[in-house]
């Protein structure tokens, strides 16, 4: 270590940072994010570990939650309301829809609390704050993978054949994540700026859920409203997930395209807003 | 000055304080929404009431490579704000600073520690948060664990650690941070005394290795030990900058004139320790138990500390009184650690008396630092808690005492006779 120090002494340091008031809107600093990639991985790992620490309960809950939700949907919407489920057992239909939705909704919930929970770090250490909500979303991915496993089991149980449609799944997951992280950035920035925003969040998520085709099929929406309906990026994503997993119907190319475009816009604007508000986090939090 | 690595130019930070809302920064959606629907005249009146507080005002300092700069000043003088700006936690309002080199900051011990995780997991987490790369932590892992002394429990969740152990582990990670520029806030305020010494040693080692350090502390002793230069901040402005001895002396003289010790000990904010005991007062008594305000050299005296403490069981109670001169040079350390009295049966609150049969210091003004440790962990520490004035008295039977400035500080019982 001493040797290293001595060579450091002679060498002119290559790092230079100017600290001053930043003005206006600045883009994401990809280079800086890259240098902090280890922190990102360790924080995401921490979230996953904490979630599964109470081993049995943690895993059991991840498995039970989507099954119970789909079960309740099946009873209320499938049996009582007798909503059509595109010729698939309603339970599987609901489960396939809740899979991408849960990734989205849990990510929002995590993001809402991530900055306030990381308050100690924010006020004592510098790092790109955007890592906190993104690491939260990344941790949710593990739950998603568990859900995907259950999905495969369900497909076998209900004797629904796997199709080549499944190959598109990685693309769908990426679009799903893009939207989830994009909205999460808005929500985490808002939740620092407005302390009471966190109370409005569950309602927002719930309203969004009913605006998405989880318990019902997009085919229920009248033709002339379909386009407006597709503005909700989760609609296209959920439809595409059903197409990939259940192997039925037509690939929702238009609504998925809209979802991707919306996701990109939400993400980029979210990143700008986040960067804009980020500067005052330590003073406000 | 050669090779400047920290160049601070007219740095200022203004906080907007809205007296209408209790909190300084965070707003609520409810507030803003109702404001939107309020008549605009009322809105204007409201925004005009905002007050500006200058946490830092036009501070310029240059630090060259390998230098250790100490920053001193009262609470709220802007020391922490300066460190927060330099470590990029918050932005300056105006001015700028150039930093040449990798910056590491240590504004708190154990930032990001999570009690559900094991010691090992926390080493990685905390290291990454402090800016270490994973490979770097891998490389230093064994050193860190050995330094902390908690090897046996490294795979146990930190929630099962004693607070002392957790702090040691957190310190160990921090002590192994070796960026080119290190910013350290009052982090030595917690932890047990011997471990603090170890960390100070490690930090000096770091400083000796050509690192540039900015060190903020209330502890003038630590500042004098570690730093070559010091900056004194007062009310956000730079009051003095220069050699550590000169600046510390100016600061001490000024705070003596301001009579800072007049603050009741109970209300002192600039204390350290985990708070399981708090000193609440101090007075002195003579041999007849009467309260006195000054000490007569050579007379017996009781130093009486009032305290409150949490009702927990402790097995090892140590009290300290350090008598220091006006420049905080330690004169005497008084403690039951040296005398061996067992004070375990300490009531929840009350007084503890330290008796000196014959006060040994010459005429002058001295300051007392008070301290208490439970099980080797700092419970409370108040620096410069009280001044005491010593007046000349009949130390020797003759009534004569040395009075030349060069006669030393102490009086001591002695006798003379012919050798055989």
- d(CA B285, CA B302) in angstroms, rounded, equals 5
> What integer pLDDT is reported at residue A4 of this predicted model?
34
Q: What pLDDT, in 10s, does the model give residues B296-339?
A: 888 899 999 999 988 777 888 999 999 988 767 789 999 999 99
Q: Do B108 and A16 touch (CB under 8 A)?
A: no
Q: Which residue has the tokens 């011997």?
A: B194
A13, A46, A283 ranked by CB distance to B117: nearest: A46
Q: How confident is the model at residue B13 (pLDDT cuts 50, 70, 90)?
A: very high
Is residue B11 within a helix (H) or strand (E), and if so which, with residue range? strand B4-17
Q: What is the pTM of this model?
A: 0.72
**Torsion from C-alpha of A266, A269, A271, A274, nearest 10 degrees:** -110
Q: How confident is the model at residue B181 (pLDDT cuts 50, 70, 90)?
A: confident
Query: Is the minimum CB–CB distance between A120 and chain B shorter than 8 Å?
Result: yes
Q: How confident is the model at residue B259 (pLDDT cuts 50, 70, 90)?
A: low
* Mean pLDDT calculated for residue range B339-357: 91
Query: Is the minimum CB–CB distance between B318 and chain A shorter than 8 Å?
Result: no
3-class state of residue B375 by DSSP: coil
> What integer pLDDT is reported at residue A9 of this predicted model?
41
* Contacts for B279 with CB less than 8 Å, ≥ 6 apart: B265, B266, B305, B306, B307, B370, B372, B380, B382, B385
Q: How many CB atoms lie within 10 A of CB B129?
A: 23
Q: Which of B4, B7, B14, B25 to mutate to test the interface with A (most CBs of A within 10 A)?
A: B25
Q: A131-157 and A55-73 helices cross at what angle (nearest 10)?
A: 60
* Mean pLDDT calculated for residue range B76-88: 89
- Is the ipTM beyond the 0.85 threshold? no
B32, B97, B129 ranked by CB distance to A121: nearest: B129
> What integer pLDDT is reported at residue A3 of this predicted model?
33
B95, B128, B180 ranked by CB distance to A8: nearest: B180
Q: Do A120 and B28 touch (CB under 8 A)?
A: no
What string of DSSP letters covers A163-183? Answer: -GGGGGHHHHHHHHHHHHHHH
> What integer pLDDT is reported at residue B327 of this predicted model?
67
Query: Is the minimum CB–CB distance between A33 and chain B shorter than 8 Å?
Result: no
pLDDT, greater one: A179 or B77: A179
- Using an 8 Å CB-CB cutoff, list chain A residues near B130: 125
A11-to-A84, A109, B65, B180 alpha-carbon distances in Å: 72, 47, 12, 11
Q: Which of A15, A35, A116 to mutate to test the interface with B (most CBs of B within 10 A)?
A: A15
> What integer pLDDT is reported at residue A50 of this predicted model?
81
CB contact at 8 A, A161 and A102: no
| A131 → chain B, closest CA residue | B129
DSSP A130: T
The low-confidence residues of chain A, meaning pLDDT below 70, are 1-14, 24-27, 54-58, 285
Q: Do A1 and B209 touch (CB under 8 A)?
A: yes
> What integer pLDDT is reported at residue A99 of this predicted model?
92
Q: Do B29 and A194 touch (CB under 8 A)?
A: yes
- d(CA B239, CA B251) in angstroms, rounded, equals 9
Query: Is the minimum CB–CB distance between A198 and chain B shorter than 8 Å?
Result: no
> What integer pLDDT is reported at residue B184 of this predicted model?
84
Q: What pLDDT, in 10s, does the model give residues B187-233?
A: 655 545 566 667 767 766 766 677 888 988 876 767 877 788 999 99
Residues 335-354 of chain B whose Cβ lies under 8 A from any Cβ of chain A = none
Residue A125 corresponds to which tokens in the numbers above?
Answer: 């250490």
Closest by alpha carbon to B223, among B259, B247, B205, B240?
A: B247
What string of DSSP letters covers B308-366? Answer: EE-S---S-EEEEEEEE-TT--EEEEEEHHHH----TT--SEEEEEEEESS--B-SEEE
- d(CA B187, CA B217) in angstroms, rounded, equals 8
> What integer pLDDT is reported at residue B57 of this predicted model?
93
CB contact at 8 A, B72 and B232: yes
Q: Do A2 and B209 touch (CB under 8 A)?
A: yes
**HSE-up of residue A57 (Cα within 13 Å, Cβ side):** 4
- d(CA B159, CA B339) in angstroms, rounded, equals 36
Q: Is the pLDDT of residue B285 over 80?
A: yes
Query: Is the minimum CB–CB distance between A117 and chain B shorter than 8 Å?
Result: no
> What integer pLDDT is reported at residue A11 of this predicted model?
46
What string of DSSP letters covers B165-229? Answer: HHHHHHHHHHHT---SEEEE-SGGGSSBHHHHHHHHHHHHHHHHTT-EEEEE-S-HHHHHHH-SE
Q: Do B98 and A196 touch (CB under 8 A)?
A: no
| A8 → chain B, closest CA residue | B210
| B212 → chain A, closest CA residue | A9
* Mean pLDDT calculated for residue range B366-385: 89
Cα distance from B281 to chain A (closest Cα, Å)? 33
| B93 → chain A, closest CA residue | A21
> What integer pLDDT is reported at residue A25 of this predicted model?
66
Residues 269-288 of chain B whose Cβ lies under 8 A from any Cβ of chain A = none
B230-to-B82, B175, B241, B243 alpha-carbon distances in Å: 14, 22, 6, 6
Q: What angle do CA B319, B353, B293 make, to 5 degrees?
A: 115
Query: Is the minimum CB–CB distance between B85 and chain A shorter than 8 Å?
Result: yes
Q: How many CB atoms lie within 10 A of CB B74?
A: 19
Cα distance from A129 to chain B (closest Cα, Å)? 10
3-class state of residue B373 by DSSP: strand
Q: What angle do CA B226, B66, B175 make, to 5 degrees?
A: 60
Q: How many CB atoms lie within 10 A of CB A82?
A: 9
> What integer pLDDT is reported at residue B18 of this predicted model?
61
- d(CA A108, CA A200) in angstroms, rounded, equals 12
3-class state of residue B70 by DSSP: strand
Q: A233-246 and A253-278 helices cross at what angle (nearest 10)?
A: 130
Q: Do A19 and B65 touch (CB under 8 A)?
A: no
Q: How confident is the model at residue B24 (pLDDT cuts 50, 70, 90)?
A: very low
Q: Is the pLDDT of residue B45 over 50?
A: no
Q: What angle do CA A95, A107, A143 make, to 5 degrees?
A: 50
**Mean pLDDT, chain B, whole residue set:** 82
Cα distance from B343 to chain A (closest Cα, Å)? 37
Q: B119-129 and B134-148 helices cross at what angle (nearest 10)?
A: 130
- Using an 8 Å CB-CB cutoff, list chain A residues near B91: 19-22, 279-280
Q: Is the pLDDT of residue B19 over 60?
A: no
3-class state of residue B367 by DSSP: strand
Query: Is the minimum CB–CB distance between B28 and chain A shorter than 8 Å?
Result: yes
- d(CA A77, CA A70) in angstroms, rounded, equals 10
CB contact at 8 A, B232 and B247: yes
B25, B85, B130 ranked by CB distance to A284: nearest: B25
| B105 → chain A, closest CA residue | A125
Is residue A146 within a helix (H) or strand (E), and if so which, with residue range? helix A131-157
SS (H, E, C) A60-113: HHHHHHHHHHHHHHHHHHHHHCCCCCCCCCHHHHHHHHHHHHHHHHHHHHHHHH
């Amino acid at each position: 270590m001493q040797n290293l120090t001595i060579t450091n002494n002679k060498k002119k340091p290559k790092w230079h940072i100017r600290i001053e008031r930043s003005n206006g809107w600045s883009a994401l600093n990809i280079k800086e994010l890259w240098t902090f990639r280890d922190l990102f991985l360790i924080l995401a790992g921490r979230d996953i570990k904490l979630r599964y620490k109470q081993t049995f309960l943690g895993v059991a809950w991840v498995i039970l939650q989507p099954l119970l939700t789909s079960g309740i949907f099946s009873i209320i919407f499938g049996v009582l309301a007798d909503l059509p489920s595109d010729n698939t057992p309603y339970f599987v239909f609901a489960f396939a829809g809740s899979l991408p939705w849960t990734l989205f909704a849990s990510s929002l919930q995590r993001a809402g609390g991530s900055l306030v929970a990381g308050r100690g770090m924010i006020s004592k250490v510098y790092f790109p704050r955007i890592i906190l909500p993104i690491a939260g979303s990344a941790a949710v991915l593990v739950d998603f993978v568990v859900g995907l496993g259950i999905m495969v089991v369900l497909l076998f149980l209900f004797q629904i054949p796997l199709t080549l449609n499944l190959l598109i799944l990685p693309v769908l997951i990426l679009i799903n994540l893009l939207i989830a992280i994009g909205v999460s950035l808005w929500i985490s920035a808002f939740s620092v700026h407005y302390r009471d925003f966190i109370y409005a969040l569950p309602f927002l998520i719930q309203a969004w859920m009913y605006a998405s085709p989880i318990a019902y099929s997009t085919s229920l929406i009248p033709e002339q409203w379909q386009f407006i309906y597709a503005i909700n990026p989760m609609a296209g994503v959920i439809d595409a997930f059903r197409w990939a997993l259940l192997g039925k119907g037509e690939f929702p190319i238009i609504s998925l395209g809209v979802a991707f475009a919306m996701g990109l816009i939400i993400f980029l604007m979210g990143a700008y807003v986040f960067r804009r508000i980020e500067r005052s986090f330590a003073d406000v939090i | 000055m050669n090779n400047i690595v920290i160049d601070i130019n007219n740095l200022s930070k203004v906080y907007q304080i809205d007296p209408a809302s209790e909190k300084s920064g965070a707003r609520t959606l409810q507030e803003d929404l109702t404001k939107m629907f309020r008549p605009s005249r009322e809105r204007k009146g409201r925004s005009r009431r905002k007050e500006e507080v200058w946490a830092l005002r036009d501070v310029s300092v240059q630090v060259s490579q390998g230098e250790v700069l100490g920053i001193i000043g009262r609470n709220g003088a802007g020391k922490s704000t300066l460190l927060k700006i330099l470590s990029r936690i918050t932005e300056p309002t105006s001015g700028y600073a150039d930093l040449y080199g990798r910056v590491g900051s240590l504004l708190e011990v154990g930032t990001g520690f999570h009690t559900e995780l094991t010691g090992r997991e926390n080493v990685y987490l905390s290291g990454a948060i402090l800016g270490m790369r994973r490979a770097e932590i891998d490389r230093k892992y064994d050193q860190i664990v050995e330094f902390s002394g908690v090897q046996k429990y490294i795979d146990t969740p930190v929630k099962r650690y004693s607070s002392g152990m957790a702090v040691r582990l957190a310190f160990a990670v921090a002590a192994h941070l070796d960026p080119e520029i290190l910013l350290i806030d009052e982090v030595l305020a917690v932890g047990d005394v011997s471990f603090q010494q170890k960390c100070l040693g490690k930090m000096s080692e770091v400083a000796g290795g050509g690192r540039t350090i900015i060190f903020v502390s209330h502890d003038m002793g630590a500042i004098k030990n570690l730093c070559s230069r010091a900056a004194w901040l007062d009310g956000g402005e730079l009051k003095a900058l220069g050699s550590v001895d000169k600046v510390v002396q100016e600061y001490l003289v000024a705070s003596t004139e301001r009579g800072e010790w007049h603050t009741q000990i109970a209300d002192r904010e600039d204390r350290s320790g985990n708070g399981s005991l708090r000193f609440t007062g101090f007075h002195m008594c003579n041999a007849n138990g009467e309260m006195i305000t000054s000490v007569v050299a050579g007379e017996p005296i009781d130093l009486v500390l009032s305290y409150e403490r949490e009702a927990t069981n402790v097995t090892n109670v140590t009290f300290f009184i350090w008598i220091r001169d006006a420049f905080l040079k330690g004169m005497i350390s008084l403690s039951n650690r040296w005398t061996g009295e067992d004070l375990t049966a300490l009531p929840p609150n009350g007084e503890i008396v330290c008796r000196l049969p014959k006060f040994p210091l010459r005429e002058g003004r001295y300051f007392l630092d008070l301290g208490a440790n439970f099980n080797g962990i700092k419970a409370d520490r108040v620096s410069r808690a009280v001044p005491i004035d010593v007046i000349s008295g009949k130390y020797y039977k003759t009534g004569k005492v040395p009075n030349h400035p060069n006669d030393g500080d102490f009086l001591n019982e002695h006798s003379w006779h012919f050798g055989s």
